[in-house]
Amino acid sequence: MSHNNQKKIAVINDISGFGKCSLSVALPVISHMGIQCCPLPTSIFSNHTGFESFYYEDFTEHMERYIDEWEKLDLRFNAIASGFLGSDKQIEIVEKFIDRFKNDDTIIVVDPVMGEDGHTYRTYTKKMCDELKRLAALADILTPNLTEACILTDTPYKAEGWKKSELFELLEKLNSMGAKKIVITGIHSGAFLSNAVFDDGNFYIRKQKKAGSFRSGTGDIFSAIIAADAVNGVEFIDSVKKASAFIKRSIINTEMLDIPLTDGVCFEDLLPTLKK
């Protein structure tokens, strides 16, 4: 018998007991798509940092011993997906993890969670941004938002007014770093929200009408769907469409239930649609 007879994705991210984001959404999404989700926590939160108060425990000093046990089990992963990383050390640990566990068939998905609205998160230093560029270069699939795409490529940020040619140039810069499949999310254009996609030499812009307000965890859901679809052999552009439509439906569902913005999106009732 083998531990490797089922498809598996190692997901490296923090976990929040309340407030749907990071591993709390990746676990149900990836599992519902028929793949075992193996979480490697970077931090443990009672509830995420968007709340006024929260309990937090850094897991960095435990990560390498945790990983050692996985190596003893000879675990092999169809994909390795990383999300928010809180320090230089954690970025280094992820790079080493990829080196230890990647084989010829392993898909590396990097969601370079560094900032939004043109600014890096307060925890991110210049050194960490440079380290994330090195990690992004290891990705097969890269899923930055517009802010993160600009940070990774040293491109001046603007909230709106992007020409198609400018977005394609941004994608080309990201592709030159290494990733063959890239989606830049969260591009605002009036009443529309767009994704710019690079897929093995082809460029696409996919837009849809905005729905509701920005909520935490949507990027984590998006990346989880992208990673699971990649393992399941779904075409990248189709996966981007699916993930975008799923998040829109989830936001609409959440607004109907009058859920606080901090709580994330109510996606659970919609999980069966991901198999279609």
- Topology classification of domain 8-261: UDP-N-acetylmuramoyl-L-alanine:D-glutamate ligase (3.40.1190)
For 167-174, what is the mean pLDDT?
98
Separation CA 175–CA 25 (nearest Å): 28
Decide if pLDDT at 122 tops 90: no
For 17-38, what is the mean pLDDT?
97
235 alpha carbon, distance to own chain's centre: 18
Separation CA 250–CA 255 (nearest Å): 9
For 140-149, what is the mean pLDDT?
98
For 128-157, what is the mean pLDDT?
97
Q: Write down the mean pLDDT value for the chain.
A: 96
Decide if pLDDT at 276 tops 80: no
pLDDT at 214: 82
pLDDT at 189: 86
pLDDT at 23: 98
Helix axes 23-32, 218-231, angle to 10 degrees: 30
Domains in the chain: boundaries: 8-261
pLDDT at 48: 94
Burial class (CB within 10 angstroms; exposed 0-12, middle 13-18, buried 19+) of 190: exposed
pLDDT at 175: 98
Decide if pLDDT at 41 tops 80: yes
Separation CA 156–CA 166 (nearest Å): 11
Q: Is the pTM of this model over 0.75?
A: yes
pLDDT at 135: 97
pLDDT at 223: 98
